[in-house]
Amino acid sequence: MSTMRISQLAERCGVPATTLRFYENAGLLPADRNASGYRLYGEEAVERLAFIAAAKHLGLPLEEIGELLAVWEAGACADVKADLRPRISARLDEAEQRTAELTAFAASLHTALEHLDALPDRATRCDPECGFLTQPAPIGASRAVDIVLSPSRRAAEETESWRTAPVACSLTGDGLGERKAQWHRLLDGAVRQEIPDGLRLTMPASRAGGLAALAAEEQQCCPFFDFRLHLNGQYLHVEVRAATAGAELLTDLFGPTA
């Protein structure tokens, strides 16, 4: 039976060797060793990595993927189906909750833009008489809007689960490069400030919709990021945090502090 070294498996599957080592340490990807101590993988590792990638695409944390792998290895498709269904249902509930939050956020932005466009152009300084600074918020919304985007909003608020989430991204190759380019385009010109565990970025409120959508996508592949969006008037403040092990990737995606 042919075997592969870790570099060969990484190249074939488009998964960084560092991620393969992490999967091994997490018990998801066992490896044999040769006499020199190098990792060796068989063809089954390719199929196993495809299974892990598919499960991560569904938003499953590595702990649950490990549990699902044990069922998958038993070989009964019906058992995998029965085990997977409630997990997907739970992720669907979370996704629908996020969608509702983003929809409400988008509605508040539309309201703010409509009111802004209706204001007269004045040569004097903006003050409460122009109406914008004292405009009441629509029912069900507040003047300043906060949204927290984490793997599970309730879990993040109660236990800050992003701090213990594995630092591993399901995006690879071109997908990872395109995601990085998206963030750099969206954050162009943003004012950066260092905060504990991450960065605080300030930019025009007009970017809020695109940023919230991209942050939600980022959560699907990198659950170790914690996003907090605060809309206040014409400014959007975004706080991005990650555990210590994810600090390098955080800087790479969201840029160094000013």
List, as one string, the DSSP characters of the chain.
Answer: ---B-HHHHHHHHT--HHHHHHHHHTTSS--EE-TT--EEB-THHHHHHHHHHHHHHTT--HHHHHHHHHHHHTT-HHHHHHHHHHHHHHHHHHHHHHHHHHHHHHHHHHHHHHHHHHSPP-SSPP-GGGSTTTPPPPTT--SEEEEEE-SSHHHHHHH-GGGTS----S--HHHHHHHHHHHHHHTTT-EEEEETTEEEEEEEGGGHHHHHHHHHHHHHH-TTEEEEEEEETTEEEEEEEE-GGGHHHHHHHH----
pLDDT of residue 138: 44
**Mapped to the 3 state alphabet, what secondary structure does 80-106 carry?**
HHHHHHHHHHHHHHHHHHHHHHHHHHH
Answer yes or no: is 224 within a domain: yes
Number of residues in the chain: 258
How far apart (Å, rounded) are the C-alpha atoms in residues 255 and 258?
9
Answer yes or no: is 52 within a domain: no
Answer yes or no: is 249 within a domain: yes
Domain that holds residue 183: 86-254
pLDDT of residue 133: 52
The letter for the amino acid at 32 is D
Answer yes or no: is 244 within a domain: yes
Answer yes or no: is 142 within a domain: yes
Answer yes or no: is 151 within a domain: yes
pLDDT of residue 143: 44
Q: Rg of the Cα trace of the chain?
A: 22
Answer yes or no: is 223 within a domain: yes
Answer yes or no: is 31 within a domain: no
**Quick one: how far is CA 71 from the chain centroid?**
27
pLDDT of residue 206: 82
Other beta carbons within 10 Å of 56 = 20
- In this prediction the pTM is 0.50
As beta bridge partners, residue 256 has none
All residues at 6 or more sequence positions from 152 whose CB lies less than 8 Å from its CB, including other chains: 94, 161
pLDDT tens string for the chain (258 positions)? 688 999 999 999 988 888 899 999 889 999 999 998 899 999 999 999 999 999 988 888 888 999 999 999 887 899 999 999 999 998 888 888 777 777 777 777 777 777 777 777 777 777 665 655 544 444 344 445 555 555 444 444 444 677 778 787 877 777 888 888 889 888 988 889 888 889 999 988 888 888 888 888 888 888 888 999 887 777 888 999 988 888 888 888 887 644
Asked if 227 and 148 count as a contact pair (C-beta separation under 8 A), the reply is yes
pLDDT of residue 48: 93
Q: Which two tokens stand for residue 117?
A: 């466009």
pLDDT of residue 141: 42
Domains contained in the chain, number: 1
pLDDT of residue 223: 85
As beta bridge partners, residue 229 has 147, 238
For residue 73, what are the CA distances in angstroms to 39, 85, 114, 227, 244? 21, 17, 56, 36, 33
Look at residues 146, 149, 160 and name the one whose alpha carbon lies nearest to residue 217.
Answer: 149
How far apart (Å, rounded) are the C-alpha atoms in residues 50 and 229?
34
